Amino acid sequence: MKALLLIKSFLLISLVSFSTNSFAQAENEKDGPLKILIHITNGPENPTTAALGFLVAKTAVEEGHTVMLFLAGDAVQLLRNDVLDNLAGLGTGKLRDHYDSIVRSGGKFYLSGMSSKARGLTEADLKDKPYEFALPKVLLQLSIDSDRMFVY
């Protein structure tokens, strides 16, 4: 009797687990490109992590996804030409290469206006770059609207 009850319990647990897993997979499947938000707060002081965020963004646009990057804190300095030209992460590549690929593929850059002002980043520093100064409410809305979000 106990053996039969144990078998029935096992079968019930297996069925529930399988059903839950199938539902979760169906919820996560989406046809076509995804909207991906990359939020970067690490700047030149942490080159490997900063370059990794750009590498993931580059990979996503090359795979055909829509990519938006929101740079905040020290990360706003990553768009200065001297930083773009000289920063390379350990095993994560050159920032300039990633940036150029993202721009060519239509990636969009949002910069925290407050972080930019606090770090002396000006429109002259950003000349000819595709960017928009944004407030925290924009970051919140982008995260809500995105299919996936990565933080570096």
- Kindly report, residue by residue over 33-56, the tens digit of the pLDDT: 999 999 999 999 999 999 999 999
Domains identified in the chain, total number: 1
Give me the residue label for tokens 């897993």.
Answer: 21
Among 43, 129, 41, which Cα is nearest to 89's? 43
3-state SS record for 79-120: HCHHHHHHCEECCCEEHHHHHHHHHHCCCEEEEEHHHHHHCC
Within-domain flag for 64: yes
Contact 9, 43 (CB under 8 A): no
Binned at pLDDT 50, 70 and 90, residue 134 comes out as very high
Within-domain flag for 75: yes
| Torsion angle (degrees, nearest 10) of CA 116, 134, 124, 95 | 70
The dihedrals phi and psi of 2, each to the nearest 5 degrees, come to -65, -35
The pLDDT tens digits of the residues spanning 57-110 come to 999 999 999 999 999 999 999 999 999 999 999 999 999 999 999 999 999 999
Within-domain flag for 57: yes
